[in-house]
Amino acid sequence: MQLKQNRSAWQAWESVTIIPCLTKDRLSIHLLHRQACLNSQNMYVDPNLKLEVLTRYAHLQRGTCCGNQCRHCPYGHMNVEINLTRPRKIFNTSYYE
């Protein structure tokens, strides 16, 4: 049942992604994240930064926005405080950057 829910949640987000708008590097991140979500993984390793990144799947398990401007936040950064020294991230049709 969990895999079915994960796939349907991914498909809902997949529908907003505009693949031609993504550069080669952004598409690489998109595909890594997509596969991690389909495999019900909480994290994947960013190919450029070599850091672990939480997946949308992990955030959905949490249930709310943590306010940390996470790359794959499914809650639209609703709990991110306005801070002029740390500008808000922009959604690139696949993830926040």
User: What is the domain partition of the chain in residue ranges?
Assistant: 1-97
Helix, strand, coil distribution of the chain in percent, nearest 5 = 40, 10, 55
pLDDT block averages, 10 residues each, the chain of length 97: 56 78 93 92 95 94 93 93 87 90
Q: What is the pLDDT of residue 1?
A: 43
Do residues 46 and 33 make contact, with C-beta atoms less than 8 angstroms apart?
no
Q: What is the value of pTM for the model shown? A: 0.83
Determine the pLDDT at residue 21: 86
Pair 73, 96: CB distance under 8 Å: yes
Between the alpha carbon of residue 30 and those of residues 68, 76, 83, 85, 86, the distances in Å are 20, 17, 27, 28, 24
Taking each continuous run of H as one helix and of E as one strand, the counts in the chain are 3, 2
- Cα–Cα distance, 59 to 77 (Å, whole number): 11
